[in-house]
């Protein structure tokens, strides 16, 4: 927790997860209090909690690290963050980033038509707005309009044809457009998104294209309109040395262009500043080998050194860090609905005349009580395995009735549970294969009220890990091994890897779930990319959310600024072209026919109809109180 929480989350004296959302302050908010307040204000579970202060804390932290580095390096210039809104476009999130970034001159980046249209009114005429990605004539026109208004909007040219199109539109208006350019570097990214950079990348001009563009601008006498040089290595840069190499490469290009007489003001090192989801330094898939300070130092010092060597003016530094600004601010609260415990199968009554295999299994299960050494333990376990195989084979051939098979199966799992318990007491190092296998097979399935596809799609799509932990009872030892499964009818709808200090990350230590007692898990660091990438598998849709601000003047040190309801069944269904009126009409027709035929009484029929119609306003998640409960006793 110390590693991934970045100082924002900790366990308080009550054994609850608490948050210190204001990084410079000690103000602490108990997450359990936030949930209670949210429910009292009409929120439903699962619930996304946004700690708005964490957004501003991250914005300040990043900018302060750059200010420190700039001071330390005596860098003659400033740094500005550019927030790429694709990471989290929610208006309140962008507004919070902008508000916190005001004093740092923070700007925005957009990458599509809709994002451009969302961002244009937000930036006023002081803050930079960069537009990457594919830009058609409509978008280029919008950007030229913005430049006419005096807004600091720069199209970042990624394809030569975009440059040609921009020039022809500007010619029609008789204006000289401001612009930036993204270049393909020879330095390749590292980590999962390395394909965003390098010469094979889908984005950016090659060096010959860049020079062609520069010649054309010079020919037109408007070379000063090329104001920004940009590269982007890809998200979640795993290895900081790769960033250093890329910064050096682009700074050399910058220096060359300056020496040619161009007046490039901005050097934009793109996004990719990583977040330490896994907290295990050696796994580049989920972790990073640097912090904000080192990132800022590397950028500032590398640019300064080369500018000095080449005798050119230092540029304004930009980074398009998105994930690093928003990942921490939101967490998902997920109730546990029920538990399947493979180690506690229901024991039915012994058949009157048990089959020989049943008797043998019974003997093994009795024998386990008299185990005196580890050798005997393995012997008993292997016997049980053999008898189980035999009984399954007999059943397949029709020689073992179902109630006898049920008996051997239940006895087998009870034996397994006992063997595992004894092996764990032995605590052999390294643990024998039998133990690892039993731990895997005897892991509980905790059914949770959420959808992996909606709320943490990157876990499903690219095996991104997210920290998960109980939100209370953290002063109580967790005694169960659990795997979390979601509501979808999809075997991929589960969390298959956990952030944990266990050698085996396929399960999470959890407390025993008691039916009727709420048990909430938190899934953390979900503020970047997950919301908009999330999909509606099984028509399980957007969750409800609350926006929380910390305040020393409020009970519990917080207040809820906004409650947003989750998507209703009615809204969800209309996205796939089912409409309430039509559903209502069809259902009443069906019920009227049943009434007419005498299959149900009119009052009963109407009750059934009303109940159906009311459900259209429900949310797409389960109610904890009508949940399946203890899936197996």
Ligand X SMILES: *Cc1c(COP(=O)(O)O)cnc(C)c1O
- First vs last C-alpha separation in the chain: 33
Q: What's the min distance (Å) between Cβ of 28 and ligand X? A: 29
Residue numbers 118-137 binding ligand X by CB under 6 A: 132
CB of 133 to ligand X, least distance (A): 7
- The only residue of 16, 60, 86, 360 in contact with ligand X, by rule CB under 6 A: 86
Interface with ligand X (CB under 6 A), residue from 21, 46, 270, 470: 270
Binding to ligand X, residues 513-542 (CB under 6 A): none
Closer residue to ligand X (CB): 37 or 109 = 109
Scan for tokens 């204000």, then name that residue: 41
For residue 130, which of 98, 82, 164 has the smallest C-alpha distance? 82
Nearer to ligand X, 201 or 435 (CB): 201
User: In Å, what is the CA distance from 510 to each residue of 278, 468, 596?
Assistant: 18, 10, 54
Among 58, 60, 61, 232, binds ligand X (CB under 6 A): 232
Residue 70 interacts with ligand X (CB under 6 A)? no
Other CB atoms within 10 A of residue 404 CB = 22
Q: Look at the alpha carbons of 283, 285, 289, 291 in this order and tell me if their dihedral is positive or negative.
A: negative
Give the separation between CA 571 and CA 88, rounded to whole angstroms.
Answer: 22
Collect all residues with Cβ–Cβ distance below 8 Å to 300 and sequence separation of at least 6: 66, 69, 70, 72, 73, 75, 79, 317
Q: Is 323 in the site for ligand X (CB under 6 A)?
A: yes
How many residues would you count in the chain?
Answer: 633
264: Cα separation from own chain's centroid: 36
Residue 87 contacts ligand X per CB under 6 A: yes
Q: Which of 60/86 has CB closer to ligand X?
A: 86
Write b or e for each residue in 128-139: b if 16 or more Cβ atoms lie within 10 A of its Cβ, otherwise e: bbbbbbebeeeb
Give me the least distance between CB of 387 and ligand X, in Å please.
55
Three-state secondary-structure class, residue 271: coil
| Among the residue ranges 145-153, 293-301, 322-330, 489-497, the one whose residues contact ligand X (CB under 6 A) | 322-330
Q: In this complex, which beta carbon is closest to ligand X, that of residue 62 or of residue 622? A: 62
Residue 273 or 364 with smaller CB distance to ligand X: 273
Q: Does 191 bind ligand X (CB under 6 A)?
A: no
Q: What is the distance, to the nearest Å, from the Cα of residue 112 to the centroid of all Cα atoms in its chain? A: 22
Binds ligand X (CB under 6 A): choice among 235, 407, 435, 557? 235
271 makes contact with ligand X (CB under 6 A): yes
Closer CB to ligand X, residue 324 or residue 471?
324
Can you tell me whether residue 522 is helix, strand or coil?
Answer: strand
Restricting to residues 236-255, which ones interact with ligand X according to CB under 6 A?
A: 236
CA distance 315 to 77: 6
**CB-based contacts of 367, cutoff 8 Å, min separation 6:** 380
Q: Does 81 contact ligand X by CB under 6 A? A: no
**Nearest distance in Å: CB 268, ligand X:** 8
Closest CA to 522 of 331, 279, 337: 331
Q: Determine which residue in the list 273, 438, 499, 548 makes contact with ligand X, applying CB under 6 A.
A: 273
Question: Which window, 84-92, 247-255, 417-425, 621-629, contacts ligand X (CB under 6 A)?
Answer: 84-92
- Contacting positions for ligand X (CB under 6 A): 84, 86-87, 109, 111, 132, 232, 235-236, 270-273, 320-324
């Amino acid at each position: 927790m110390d590693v991934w929480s970045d100082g924002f989350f900790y366990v308080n004296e009550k054994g609850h997860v608490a948050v210190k959302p204001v990084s410079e302050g000690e103000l602490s908010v108990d997450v359990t209090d936030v949930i209670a307040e949210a429910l009292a204000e009409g929120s439903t579970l699962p619930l996304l909690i946004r700690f708005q202060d964490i957004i501003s804390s991250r914005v300040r932290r990043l900018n302060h690290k750059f200010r420190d580095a700039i001071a330390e390096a005596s860098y003659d210039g400033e740094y500005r963050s550019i927030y790429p809104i694709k990471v989290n476009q929610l208006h309140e999130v962008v507004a919070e980033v902008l508000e916190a970034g005001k004093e740092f001159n923070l700007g925005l980046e957009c990458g599509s038509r809709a994002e451009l249209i969302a961002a244009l009114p937000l930036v006023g005429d002081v803050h930079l707005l960069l537009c990457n990605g594919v830009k058609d004539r409509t978008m280029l026109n919008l950007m030229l309009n913005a430049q006419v208004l005096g807004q600091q909007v720069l199209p970042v040219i990624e394809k030569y044809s975009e440059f040609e199109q921009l020039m022809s539109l500007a010619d029609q208006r008789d204006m000289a457009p401001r612009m930036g350019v993204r270049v393909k570097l020879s330095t390749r990214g590292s980590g999962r998104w390395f394909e965003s950079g390098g010469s094979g990348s889908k984005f950016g001009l090659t060096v010959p294209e860049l020079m062609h563009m520069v010649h054309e601008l010079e020919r037109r006498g408007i070379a000063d309109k090329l104001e920004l040089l940009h590269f982007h290595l890809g998200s979640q840069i795993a290895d900081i040395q790769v960033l250093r190499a890329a910064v050096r490469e682009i700074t050399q290009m910058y220096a060359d262009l300056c020496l040619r007489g161009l007046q490039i003001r901005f050097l934009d090192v793109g996004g990719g500043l990583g977040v330490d989801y896994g907290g295990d330094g050696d796994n580049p898939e989920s972790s990073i080998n640097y912090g904000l300070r080192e990132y800022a130092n590397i950028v500032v010092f590398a640019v300064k050194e080369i500018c000095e060597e080449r005798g050119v003016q230092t540029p304004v530094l930009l980074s398009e860090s998105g994930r690093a600004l928003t990942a921490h601010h939101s967490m998902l609260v997920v109730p546990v609905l029920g538990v399947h415990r493979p180690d506690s199968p229901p024991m039915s009554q012994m058949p009157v005349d048990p089959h020989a295999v049943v008797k043998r299994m019974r003997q093994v299960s009795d024998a386990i009580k008299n185990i005196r050494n580890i050798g005997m333990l393995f012997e008993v376990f292997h016997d049980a395995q053999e008898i189980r195989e035999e009984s399954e084979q007999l059943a397949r051939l029709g020689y073992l009735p179902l109630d006898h098979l049920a008996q051997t199966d239940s006895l087998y799992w009870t034996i397994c549970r006992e063997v595992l318990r004894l092996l764990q007491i032995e605590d052999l190092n390294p643990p024998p294969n039998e133990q690892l296998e039993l731990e895997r097979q005897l892991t509980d399935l905790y059914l949770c009220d959420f959808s992996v596809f909606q709320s943490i799609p990157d876990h499903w799509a690219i095996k991104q890990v997210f920290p998960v932990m109980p939100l209370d009872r953290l002063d109580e030892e967790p005694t169960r091994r659990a795997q979390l499964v979601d509501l979808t009818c999809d075997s991929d709808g589960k969390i298959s890897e956990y952030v944990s200090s266990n050698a085996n990350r396929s399960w999470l230590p959890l407390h025993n779930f008691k039916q009727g007692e709420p048990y909430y898990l938190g899934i953390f660091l979900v503020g970047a990319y997950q919301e908009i990438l999330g999909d509606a598998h099984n028509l399980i849709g957007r969750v409800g959310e609350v926006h929380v601000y910390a305040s020393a003047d409020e009970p519990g040190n917080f207040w809820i600024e906004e409650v947003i309801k989750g998507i209703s069944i009615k809204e969800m269904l209309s996205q796939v072209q089912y409409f309430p009126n039509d559903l209502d009409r069809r259902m009443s027709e069906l019920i009227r026919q049943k009434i007419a035929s005498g299959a149900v009484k009119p009052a009963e029929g109407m009750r059934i109809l009303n109940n159906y119609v009311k459900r259209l306003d429900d949310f797409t998640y389960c109610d904890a109180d009508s949940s399946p409960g203890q899936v197996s006793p």
